A = this chain, B = another copy of it.
């Protein structure tokens, strides 16, 4: 069995859950409140971040009789699943075969899981969600409107780039659905839950996102709920 430590408002966690859905991988989800910095969780991922995957079938060659090795981080789990599952999935594989094409997929995965996360999600999700879930002594409190403003401005720039990508290509990295689309949709879906995406001014991005949102792998994400913070009214609509 596979266990995934995740959070519903983490784009990288959603990325892994979408890959699970696309490849038909069953996994037990464990919600981790990373701001609590639990010692048991830090022991499996010193960075203290989600997602972290434990795969009972995996073997750590350095400690063959030890516990299942932790596979930590969205980018890293994506590579691991490509090697262990994707490589046997023929035309359902989410990575191309050609190395230059794979590099382009990886560039975009990093863009949406690292750059978008740092420039948009860490501003908006931290201020609007995590600070509400945290107690005052954990860093909780009122949102900082200057940080929210900066996050919204950065989101506009990222949507412009996404618009350019979807207008020049069928899918983000070329003619096929790849991990690049999964990463971008996962990252964007967190902001969509919060009602932060102005779809009316982004018709091309909306068309691309609607194609992803209607895939069976997306259903679990659309059922996500954060206590005390219901999703934007259009969040679950496939026709938004």
Contact = CB atoms under 8 A, between A and B. Distances in A.
Taking the full assembly, how many copies of this chain does it contain? 2
Given A62-B174, A75-B75, A83 B99 contact: yes
B118 A59 contact: no
Given A73-B110, A107-B73, A110-B73, A100 B46 contact: no
Contact of A75 (B58, B77, B84, B110): B110
B59 A80 contact: no
Interface in A107-149: 107, 110-111, 114-115, 118
Nearest to A68: B100
A84 B98 CA distance: 10
Given A76-B107, A174-B62, A71 B46 contact: no
Interface of A: 46-47, 55, 58-62, 69, 71-73, 75-77, 79-80, 83-84, 96, 98-104, 106-107, 110-111, 114-115, 118, 161, 169, 174-175
